């Protein structure tokens, strides 16, 4: 389990790092988008005044067309950043959920096996301790992903909010600090899962010896 979990954490952190890299290469998307929105509003104002044939309207139309051409590549980069970020967030949530599910399952299994074979109850104490040490990190990692995503949505100029540009640096720093925290969280979870896996192996060895002593088949499920 620990090897599988390590592989999953590497994939998750890699996707998060890729999302940050793509975000840094979006460029001045917010500023140009806001300028395009302002030009569009001005054109609508002229249209309401029935002044679209005026030289002023022609100048605004030219500016709108130029801004639209400039926005196209930036919009594609922003969309790619958001898609990779969404994928990274979902994978990270999945990895944290796997850690929680793993400890819930192994903790219950440990209690049942220790009770059934009258093993040392310290096994239950140890697996409970590892579960309690892991759960807060997994939950905080999941909350961190949600915070980063929320700030990213707040900085999306597609919402047409006039304050989206002010959220960009907050989203950036939340992503940088948040991904660092998530990486540390994964390292702690990996360590605890590895320790729990060793604990499970010890229980399995003791169960095997107990079954041999009772003349039972060791190939059967000890639980």
pLDDT in tens, 172-197: 999 999 999 999 999 999 999 999 99
| CA–CA separation, 47 and 196 (whole Å) | 69
> What pLDDT, on a 0 to 100 scale, did the predictor assign at position 37?
77
Predicted confidence (pLDDT) at residue 221 exceeds the cutoff of 60: no
Indicate the pLDDT class of residue 43, thresholds 50, 70 and 90: confident
Percent of the chain past pLDDT 70, that is, above it, reads 97
Contact predicate 97/12, CB 8 Å:
no
> What pLDDT, on a 0 to 100 scale, did the predictor assign at position 24?
93
Residues 6 or more apart whose CB falls under 8 angstroms from that of 171 comprise: 23, 148, 151, 152, 154, 155
> What pLDDT, on a 0 to 100 scale, did the predictor assign at position 222?
43
Residues 6 or more apart whose CB falls under 8 angstroms from that of 100 comprise: 134, 135, 138, 139
Percent of the chain past pLDDT 90, that is, above it, reads 60
> What pLDDT, on a 0 to 100 scale, did the predictor assign at position 127?
94
When mean pLDDT is compared across 92-101, 161-170, 178-187, the lowest value belongs to 161-170
| CA–CA separation, 176 and 122 (whole Å) | 40
> What pLDDT, on a 0 to 100 scale, did the predictor assign at position 219?
64
| pTM reported for the whole predicted model | 0.85
Contact predicate 165/30, CB 8 Å:
yes
Give the pLDDT mean for 157-168.
83
| CA–CA separation, 122 and 126 (whole Å) | 6
Angle between helices 164-213 and 2-24 (to 10 degrees): 170
| CA–CA separation, 97 and 202 (whole Å) | 25
The chain-wide mean pLDDT, for the chain, equals 89
When mean pLDDT is compared across 3-7, 27-31, 84-88, 175-179, the lowest value belongs to 27-31
Please report the sign of the dihedral spanned by the C-alpha atoms of residue 211, residue 216, residue 221, residue 223.
negative
């Amino acid at each position: 389990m620990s090897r599988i979990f390590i592989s999953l954490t590497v994939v998750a952190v890699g996707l998060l790092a890729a999302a940050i890299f793509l975000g840094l290469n979006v460029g001045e998307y917010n500023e140009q988008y806001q300028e395009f929105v302002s030009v569009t509003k001005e054109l609508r104002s002229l249209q309401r005044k029935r002044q679209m044939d005026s030289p002023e309207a022609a100048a605004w139309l030219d500016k709108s067309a130029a801004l639209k051409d400039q926005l196209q590549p930036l919009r594609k980069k922003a969309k790619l950043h958001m898609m990779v970020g969404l994928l990274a967030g979902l994978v990270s949530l999945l990895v944290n959920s796997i850690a929680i599910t793993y400890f819930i399952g192994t903790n219950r299994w440990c209690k049942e096996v220790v009770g059934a074979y009258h093993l040392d109850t310290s096994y239950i104490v140890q697996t409970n301790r590892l579960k309690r040490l892991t759960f807060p990190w997994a939950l905080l990692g999941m909350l961190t992903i949600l915070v980063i995503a929320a700030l990213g949505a707040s900085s999306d100029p597609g919402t047409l909010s006039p304050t989206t540009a002010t959220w960009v640096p907050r989203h950036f720093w939340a992503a940088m600090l948040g991904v660092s925290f998530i990486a540390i969280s994964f390292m702690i979870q990996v360590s605890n899962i590895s320790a729990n896996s060793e604990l499970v192996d010890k229980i399995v060895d003791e169960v095997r010896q107990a079954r041999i002593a009772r003349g039972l088949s060791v190939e059967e499920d000890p639980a």
